[in-house]
Amino acid sequence: MNHLIEIKGVTHAYQTPNGPLPVLDDLNLAVPEGEFAAVVGPSGCGKSTLTRLVTGLMKPDQGEVWLHGQLVKSPRKTVGMAFQNPVLLEWRTILDNVILPLEIVAPSMPRADREARAMELLDLVGLTGFENKRPSELSGGMRQRASLCRAIVHKPEVLIMDEPFGALDAFTREDLWQTMHALRAQEPFTAVLITHDLRESVYLGDQVIVLSGRPATTQFVLDVDYPDDGGLRKIDGLYTPQCAEMLATLRDQIKIAQGRDPEAGLH
Ligand SMILES: Nc1ncnc2c1ncn2[C@@H]1O[C@H](COP(=O)(O)OP(=O)(O)OP(=O)(O)O)[C@@H](O)[C@H]1O
């Protein structure tokens, strides 16, 4: 199979005043082109560290990260990023914020073409009419929609998302989940989503990767078999026995990752 992202035997430790802090230990994962991988694991296990390695912002002590058949040795321009707090520039309009990656990756692209590309995405996420507003004039959910447009405007080879929906209320979050599927249907991309929300991981993921406690290794991989509704994933599907079973499996795996007994009660 053609894997767009391959992480092979990655081991990493941070150097701290108290000595090395091992964070990742012989971590392996592979994401095929066009697939959406959700990564879950105990708090502090090393999920964000993993994103820094995939984007080339850091080099692992051992092991290799491959993107599109190329060994990652330095920061990659062609990666899209979205974070919990959308870092939009207040002195730019929403349209100019979305255009920003094109200014870096495609400096010779005519302004009109950049605007057309950004407007196409803003339309897809329901932000037509807000393109000339400043970020502070938008709600948190709208800002996150704009930030998702900015993350994919330059058609990145991979989209990395670190808890992009974590700070949103439950209704807005579900709206954004559906927006993600709409964006993918329009222009397929390969994505890695870091999340603490197991329902989110199942709704959005083609595979869910459970990391062990720190130092993290790949503990379990769930291939998501979402109830099919004519090729569409509906939120209601989360409440079917099929999804309940996947969620129960993931909950048990998280307990194991935390060093708890899945058969035990709350404690
Ligand atoms: N630059 C750094 N220097 C030293 N230690 C670090 C550094 N960055 C992260 N750490 C530590 O490494 C561990 C893993 O951090 P990381 O942010 O990757 O975990 P995480 O799984 O994303 O956490 P959370 O689930 O809480 O968001 C944590 O204990 C953190 O304190």
Q: Is 18 in the pocket of ligand 1 (CB under 6 A)?
A: no
Min mean pLDDT across 122-126, 133-137, 239-243 is at 122-126
Report how far ligand 1's centroid is from the alpha carbon of 27 (Å): 16
**Does residue 165 or residue 2 have the better pLDDT?**
165
- Fold that domain 3-76+157-257 belongs to in CATH: Rossmann fold (3.40.50)
pLDDT tens-digit readout, 144-189: 899 989 999 988 889 999 998 888 888 888 988 998 998 888 888 8
pLDDT tens-digit readout, 46-82: 888 999 999 899 999 999 999 988 899 888 877 888 8
Across the chain, mean pLDDT equals 90
pLDDT at 238 over 90: yes
Give φ, ψ of 50 to 5 degrees. -60, -40
- Which residue is closest in CA terms to ligand 1's atom 28? 44
CA distance 219 to 257: 8
pLDDT at 261 over 90: no
CA distance 244 to 237: 9
The interface predicted TM-score (ipTM) is: 0.95
Q: Is 12 in the pocket of ligand 1 (CB under 6 A)?
A: no
List the structure tokens of 214. 């720190």
Where are the domain boundaries for CATH 3.40.50.300 in the chain?
Answer: 3-76+157-257
SS3 (DSSP) at 201: helix
- Which residue is closest in CA terms to ligand 1's atom 9? 49
Give me the pLDDT at residue 210, please: 95
pTM listed for this prediction:
0.91
In which element (H, E) is residue 36 found? strand 36-40
Q: Are 172 and 141 in contact (CB under 8 A)?
A: yes
Report how far ligand 1's centroid is from the alpha carbon of 44 (Å): 5
Cis status, amide bond into 215, omega within 30 of 0:
yes
Which atom of ligand 1 is the closest one to the Cα of 41? 21
